[in-house]
Amino acid sequence: MGALLLPESVRWLPLTGVAEVVGDAKVVAIGENNHYIREFGLLRDRLLRLLVTELGFTVLAYESGFAEGELADAWIRGAPGEPEVLARNGFTFRFGEPAEVRGMLGWLREHNRSNGNRVRFAGLDLPGAGGSPVPALAKVRDYLGRRTELVDAALEATEPYHAANNSVALARYSELAHAERDAATAALARLLLYLDAMPDGGPEHLIARHHALGALRLDEHLREFTLLGTEPPAKVVSSRDVYHAETVRLLRRLHGPDARIVLMMHNAHIQRVPMELLPGIHADSAGTHLAGPDYVAIAVTATVGTTTDTELNENAPQGFDVVPHPAGPPAEDSIEAAVAGEEPVLLDLRAARAATGLPTLRTTRPISPPDAERLDATLPDAGSADAGLSSSEVADAGRPDSGVADAGRPNAGLPGAGLADAGPAAPGLADAGLPESRRPAPGMAVAGLPDLGVAVARHPNPGVADAGRPDAGVADAGPRGAALHDSGAADAGPRDAGPRDAGRPAAGPSTPAPPTPGLPATGLPAKIRHVTTHLAVDLPAAFDAIACLPEMTPATLTTPDRSGQNGVPDRFE
């Protein structure tokens, strides 16, 4: 065991213990402390196979563009296509390139070929993952047929900032005049309103509406980040995370209330407490919007090894390279230090929710600190309990205040049908199995993969009831009646934010307190890894369990042809 001792309320389980942690939950989120890590990809592949074959999960939703994900969904259901094309066009952020992801998709394709319990795939994220609305608007154009005037207007209005890379898009957006920003927001809102006014067309209409909503959320996302200055409020809105949660609710409507969904996102997105965007700046994560008894969040981290970073490169796929970066040793008061030297282990935190203190986990911040010289507005320190964005705090936020209906209003009714199956099956990708460990655990082998080694249970806690997940004050960001829980708790979070909501303060869970130095009285560590740093987060409140691996190494990415990547053209014709 590591230098630190975890309290007995934290149960040590083999990785097969994920079934016990998941229980009857309908939505299970599997995180990672950084992207492009080989061992995290292999673990997620293993856990997905267990959840599908043993627990009946039928939807995989990934931190990648919703519009782009339709290609991956068709491919795992048998549509023709080359894996390289899938990696290029079916994912954003180059997430389809690691061999571990392609192996997971290949297994899903083979599973769907031979099983009646077919698995679907969906992206959770903004079109172009925040760089361009074009992939989503192209889907809306296809749905509308000849009635494309509003789509054309939206394409023209957003052309000045669209890019294959979200950092480039943000830089372009920051240079736009307020009138140009407002024109883009208004054009996207009009398109969404038009779809809302149309008669309900079933699943196809609801999906088209979600594409239009994604384009609008992208615009809001760029506006939000451009307004971050040198002295922003402590709490802001993340339209991107709101859209993640809205996508999950859409999937539940498409596939029925009994569908079981696996989410794969960064630890920061799945946690039930607000995430730290920048030092001292928090926003409600997707997990805060989804939290409830039907939601389980499992963080993934590693004790030592090499992590990754990204560097802008206009000649690279999607405009950036993935490069190795030393992770450094775990902090003394971190969860990683507490399990250093162990085999892979699953820490069950559910009974530790009564503990006090601020355990923390290594992680990565989603963005770098803003360059104030590139921004056209800064926000004063709110200095009050309610630090959300409001019209009185933002000088000319640029959002129209009148005449625009709420873009996030409830959707029309929808039968529980999904999309039609695609074409004939074809050979899948090579299996990406996990290596044998020194101490295999019986029963971990799934679908012919070798066993994983696990740590033995050191703090058995039989008979301890599930401490339950805190629901009070959790935001319900989705359509009316679509929350994952039925606790009856007040809806304290941000509603589906449309243009007319720009002046509403952001509510929801309170901002976490700053980290407490050293170990809290409960004995829980105070940190969890976030690439080369460690951030404070109340672990038992944020996650149901943490999967800790002994090592991490960068994944190997393919280098696909850049042309047509992610459906984002180099320029508008």
Confidence of residue 355 (pLDDT cuts 50, 70, 90): low
Q: Give the residue, 480 or 159, on which the prediction is more confident.
A: 159
The pair of three-digit structure tokens given for residue 557, joined into one six-digit string: 């990415």
Tens digit of each residue's pLDDT (9 = 90 or more) over 85-113 = 898 899 999 999 999 999 999 999 999 99
Which residue would you say has higher pLDDT here, 264 or 509?
Answer: 264
d(CA 204, CA 446): 35
Which pLDDT score is estimated for 216?
99
Task: Give the pLDDT mean for 169-189.
Answer: 97
Residue 385's pLDDT is 32
- Higher-pLDDT residue of 68 and 457 is 68
Residue 514 pLDDT greater than 70, yes or no: no
Radius of gyration (C-alpha) of the chain in whole angstroms:
22
pLDDT of 519 strictly over 50: no
What are the tokens at 34? 């950084």
Residue 359 confidence (pLDDT): 52
Task: Please report the pLDDT score of residue 526 as a whole number.
Answer: 55
Work out the average pLDDT over 426-437.
32
> pLDDT at residue 478 above 90?
no
Q: Where are the beta strands (DSSP E) in 416-531?
A: 528-530
Comparing 92 with 233, the larger pLDDT belongs to: 92
**DSSP-derived 3-state class of residue 545:** strand
What span, in angstroms and rounded, lies between the C-alpha atoms of 251 and 416?
10
Tens digits of residue pLDDT in 406-416: 333 333 333 33
* The one-letter amino acid at 228: L
| Nearest in space to 333 (alpha carbons), one of 7, 10, 5, 32 | 5
Structural contact between residues 244 and 269, judged by C-beta atoms closer than 8 angstroms = yes
Residue 432's pLDDT is: 33
Mean pLDDT of 243-272: 97
Nearest CA to 218 among 92, 401, 371, 73?
92
DSSP code string of 166-223: HHHHHHHHHTS-HHHHHHHHHHHHHHHHHHHHSPP-THHHHHHHHHHHHHHHHHHHHH
The answer to whether residue 166 scores a pLDDT higher than 50 is yes
Q: What is the pLDDT of residues 278-312, one digit of tens each?
A: 878 899 999 999 999 999 999 999 999 999 998 88
Q: How many CA atoms lie within 13 A of 396 on its CB side?
A: 7
Q: Which tokens is 436 given?
A: 């044998």
Strand partners, 62: 123, 264
Q: How confident is the model at residue 28 (pLDDT cuts 50, 70, 90)?
A: very high
pLDDT score for 405: 34
Q: Are strands 533-536 and 11-13 parallel, antiparallel or unpaired?
A: unpaired
Confidence of residue 559 (pLDDT cuts 50, 70, 90): low
Q: Is the pLDDT of residue 255 over 60?
A: yes
Is residue 558 classed as helix, strand or coil in its secondary structure? coil
As a whole number, mean pLDDT of residues 555-560 equals: 77
pLDDT value at position 396? 33
Dihedral angle sign, alpha carbons of residues 286, 306, 48, 21: negative
Whole-number Å distance between alpha carbons of 49 and 502: 42
pLDDT at 545: 95
Question: Is 369 or 149 the better-scoring residue by pLDDT?
Answer: 149
Does residue 504 register a pLDDT over 70? no
> Looking at per-residue confidence, does 333 or 267 come out higher?
267
Q: What single-letter DSSP state applies at residue 153?
A: H
Tell me what pLDDT residue 468 has.
32
Amino acid at 483: A
Distance (Å, whole) CA 439 – CA 453: 5
In the numeric block, which tokens belong to residue 66? 């919703």
Q: Which residues, including other chains, have CB under 8 Å from residue 59's CB and lie 6 or more apart?
A: 119, 120, 121, 122, 251, 255, 259, 260, 261, 262
Output phi, psi for 334, to 5 deg. Answer: -110, 160
CB 64 within 8 A of CB 538: no
- In 82-199, which ranges are continuous DSSP H helix? 83-89, 99-114, 134-144, 149-158, 166-174, 178-197
Dist. CA 364–CA 276, nearest whole Å: 9
**Residues 223/226/227/228 CA torsion (nearest 10 deg):** 130
CA separation for the pair 555, 101 (Å, rounded): 10
Share of the chain above pLDDT 90, in %: 47
**What's the pLDDT at 331?**
83
pLDDT for 252 equals 97
Q: What is the pLDDT of residue 365?
A: 53
Calculate the CA dihedral of residues 330, 335, 336, 342 and round it to 10 degrees: 150
- pLDDT tens digit string along 194-216? 999 999 889 999 999 999 999 99
Average pLDDT over residues 471-478: 32
Give the span between the Cα atoms of 17 and 12, in whole angstroms: 9
- Which residue has better confidence, 407 or 21? 21
**Residue 381 or residue 347, greater confidence:** 347
In angstroms, how far is CA 433 from the centroid of its own chain? 25
The single-letter DSSP state of residue 538 is -
pLDDT at 114: 92
Residue with tokens 């083999």: 14
